Amino acid sequence: MPLVAGSPSSVQVDCISLVPIAEEQPIAAAAGGVSYDRATNRYTLVWKTARSDAGTCRRLRIELDDGSSYTDVVRFR
């Protein structure tokens, strides 16, 4: 499935309440890339994060053009 424009995206969230702290931003293609493997039906995201993300949490969102949306919260060490 193709991705919706602006997907994937991420936003910094409070690690306890998961409430967004900033505005959601697309993950720039220059920061990584998204690939899809039809054989395994799996997406792979290469996401280069900043050192300043250490100790923070971010919510990652991926939206597909079929209307489905997937989210996960990542805590950076």
Query: What would the pLDDT profile of 5-60 be if each residue is shown by its tens digit?
Result: 888 999 999 999 999 999 999 887 555 577 888 899 888 888 888 899 999 999 99
Angle at 4 between CA 9 and CA 43, to 5 degrees: 70
Residue 3 pairs in a beta bridge with 64
Residue 71 pairs in a beta bridge with 61
Domain boundaries of the chain, sorted by first residue: 9-75
Q: What is the pLDDT of residue 18?
A: 97
Q: What is the pLDDT of residue 48?
A: 81
Q: What is the pLDDT of residue 6?
A: 87
* Residue range 65-74: mean pLDDT, rounded: 93
Question: Please, is 75 exposed, middle or buried when counting C-beta atoms within 10 Å of its C-beta (0-12, 13-18, 19+)?
Answer: exposed
